Amino acid sequence: MKKVLPFLAVAFSGFLVYLFDKLWGASIKWDEVKSVKVGEFLTKEIEVYQILFFLGFASLIYLIGRRLFNKNNEFYNKKQRKLREFNKTEITDASILLRWGVFFDFDTPFISDLTPYCTKHDGAPIRFVHDRCPMQGCENSKIQFNEYGMKNLIESDLIDKWEKLK
């Protein structure tokens, strides 16, 4: 709903401009305007069909806006979205968390931004720097993370999952 507010605001401001124009166009004296009650004003100045037109116009803008904003979410089909949920795993023996993004080369899944994190420490997992944990003295600071090998393993697994997904 938040995303749609700007559209409604535009529609509504257009409506206000219309109202303003109507007021000026009719050269209504401001003294008279002040004395007119809102109820009378509505019945006199704004016909029901104008309100309906405004509501119809606003909902049309709302629908167009929603379509535009939903486009990104619908970029991937249902099966692809399901596979994209496999975007992390933890190697518990080594206390390494792996995160990545799943993308598609036509119909073949591949991963990008494979990033290891060390989970041997308190708090949030610490991202590797130069293929190892940046914390001195940590066991994972003495290893060399094989990104290419791990990427191949994950992609092999994803391709397998992809074939089994319905």
Q: Which residues contact 26 (CB under 8 A, 6 or more apart)?
A: 45
**138 touches Zn ion (CB under 5 A):** yes
**120 touches Zn ion (CB under 5 A):** yes
Smallest separation (angstroms) from Zn ion to the CB of 106: 38
In the complex with Zn ion, the residue whose CB is nearer, 11 or 118, is 118
E-strand stretches of 74-154? 88-91, 96-105, 108-118, 126-127
Smallest separation (angstroms) from Zn ion to the CB of 143: 10
E-strand stretches of the chain? 88-91, 96-105, 108-118, 126-127
**118 touches Zn ion (CB under 5 A):** yes
Residue span binding Zn ion (CB under 5 A) among the ranges 5-13, 27-35, 49-57, 132-140: 132-140
d(CA 16, CA 7): 14
**116 touches Zn ion (CB under 5 A):** no
Among 135, 143, 151, 159, binds Zn ion (CB under 5 A): 135
d(CA 80, CA 18): 47
Residues lying near Zn ion in the complex (CB under 5 A) are found at 118, 120, 133, 135, 138, 140
